[in-house]
Homo-oligomer: A and B are copies of this chain.
Amino acid sequence: MVKDFLPEGWGVQGERGIAFVVTGPSGAGKSSVIAEVLRRDGRLTFSVSATTRPRRPEEVHGRDYYFVSEAEFDRLLAAGELLEWTKYQGHRYGTPRREVVSRLQAGKDVLLNVEVRGALAIARAGLPYPVVLVFLVPPSWGELRRRILARGTESREALEARLRIAREEVRHIPEFHYLVLNDELERAVATLSAIITAERTRLVPWSR
């Protein structure tokens, strides 16, 4: 037990819940990387976001997102039940505060897949738990464009809008702790898993 050796008031982050916030431009491959990391790590739980965006064919309500109406999203907002929210290409995305906080309180680690501005909002929300900020990037701008096109769901205008947003988003990289290159799924998964393992052993003063 590490406790045998630690001075009073000190611990490692893994003794309590940690919030791992993963973001990156649309097309960076966040969802694929996160799904695989979750599959391998039994101590991680996924925080499902609420969104007003229409469900894509491969997505499942309650697993990928809570797909809610505009009225329901308004209600969550008014009740202060969203830890962060953002509007992205006409749709709103939000993180239910209760979902995140109750897991952290129970000592579970929470993985969040959010847009860049949402990640920064969570970082600033003053959660009384460690928040680790990870930014995922594709191998190149050309590859990002190819990945968005490969989805086949985007108009020319939507593609260009995504790339413009991505260029704005990467300017916030210095506000993150880690930058993970998603050139190959297996490598990106291993790197994100390593970050999670490392942060669990990071020393912190619990007295704060």
Known: A194-B193, A194-B194. A201 touches B178 (CB 8 A): yes
**Copies of this protein chain in the complex:** 2
Known: A190-B197, A191-B197. A203 touches B176 (CB 8 A): yes
| A76 CB-CB contact with B under 8 Å | no
Chain B residue nearest to A176 in the complex (CB): B203
| A123 CB-CB contact with B under 8 Å | no
Q: Is chain A's binding surface mostly helix, strand, loop or mixed?
A: mixed
In the assembled complex, the Cα of A100 lies from the Cα of B190 at a distance in Å of 28
Contacts of A180 in B (CB 8 A): 201
| A181 CB-CB contact with B under 8 Å | yes
**Interface residues in A, total, Cβ within 8 A:** 35
| A80 CB-CB contact with B under 8 Å | no
Q: A202's contact among B1, B2, B140, B178, by CB below 8 Å, is which?
A: B178
| A195 CB-CB contact with B under 8 Å | yes
